Amino acid sequence: MPVAGPESQDINSGTSQSGPQYAFVKLTADIVKQVEEFGPAAIVATFGDNRPPPEIRFGIGDVVSVSIFEAAAGGLFIPSEAGVRPGNFVTLPNEPVDTAGNITVPYAGAIKAADRTPAQVEQEIVNAIKNRAIEPQVVVALTTQNTSLISVLGEVNTPSRFPAQPAGEHILDAITRGGGIKDQGYDSWVVLERRGKRAAMPFGSLVYQPENNIWVWPGDTVYVYQEPQTFLAFGASGQQGQFNFGAWRVTLAEAVGKAGGLLDVQADPASVYLYRREPRELAEKIGIDCSKFVGPTVPVVYNVNFRDPGGYFLGTKFQIRNKDVIFAANAPSVEIAKFLQFVQVMINTGNDAVVTGTNVQLYRLYAHTKSY
């Protein structure tokens, strides 16, 4: 018989004839809690490093200043004449780090600066002049930062590339420095790219799951784009199709409501299903035998029983994720009604044929009688 999808007993069996195998899970309060605690943590899973960013290092093109102090006048850089300068130090002209990664210091020669911290450069200069200067001390400062930059691009009010802060900053801090997102953020996604690795997640996940708001590092790129989060609804719901979240988060109960609810004359409220791929770690945590599944994700079909009054409480706690599929199965009586309707059509078709044949015979008899 025609049907909008699989029957509930086929889904409950946990087997597929032609598609990938899946795990069947009935929603309980414990399952809902574990799924909620796990949550989508794409950025944390990809980068997995919550440490503050490394100390800023000089790079080719950075402009640095060098000040050299001596303990007394009459040394390498400080004249012996008193009153020549306000202190026993000399500040060299600002100098960019050249393409070889070096800066040049008088009497010390070429000093490697690229990929080094100020303290490391200071120590090398001291080592180079300590036998000629009087107890030298050196201060190296970053005057113009042309490397160690963070880029914030896309759907922000002020896309820009700015120097990394020595104290460090998080993803939301970087987006704020880029002027903030252009809208309320319901449909915004954030991509973090670092050293060839990339991860994306909804902007709301940075707000509702602070563990995803990790530190940005020098050289990172933060890209914000808009793509509405959606879910699909099929079967015995009031409407079928693709629906936008239109909010930070949407629960299963809200999603069913967005799709027009369940049809009173068709749906089986005990057979509402949600299709989703879950991370392998979460699948094992909720008791799924993952030995028959290959790959980092496991296809899972969740079943919520809205015939049970408590099922609605579970539905209001279970969060929908982007690209989820909701299917409401028909009640068994609907299939029986379809069959009886089909039988009725067959009977009516036969009756129509009999009536038509009888009418033809009567017409012929009438025509024959009239001819006499």
What the block records as the tokens of 348 is 């009516």
What the block records as the tokens of 371 is 């001819």
DSSP, residue by residue, 289-334: -GGG--SSEEEEEEEE-TTSTTHHHHHTTSBP-TTEEEEEEEPHHH
pLDDT tens per residue, range 46-56: 777 667 788 88
Residue 340: how many other CB atoms lie within 10 Å: 10
How far is residue 151's CA from residue 97's CA, in Å, rounded to a whole number? 22
pLDDT tens per residue, range 56-94: 899 999 999 999 998 887 788 877 765 555 668 889 999
pLDDT tens per residue, range 223-233: 999 988 899 99
Q: What is the largest CA-CA distance in the chain?
A: 154
What the block records as the tokens of 343 is 């039988």
Residue 98: how many other CB atoms lie within 10 Å: 14
pLDDT tens per residue, range 342-371: 667 677 776 766 667 676 677 677 666 766
Give Cβ neighbours of residue 229 (< 8 Å, ≥ 6 apart).
186, 187, 202, 244, 245, 321, 322
Question: Are 148 and 56 contacting, i.e. CB atoms less than 8 angstroms apart?
Answer: yes
The answer, as to whether pTM is greater than 0.95, is no
3-state helix, strand, coil in the chain (%, to 5): 30, 30, 40
pLDDT tens per residue, range 216-265: 999 999 999 998 889 999 988 889 999 999 888 899 999 999 999 998 88
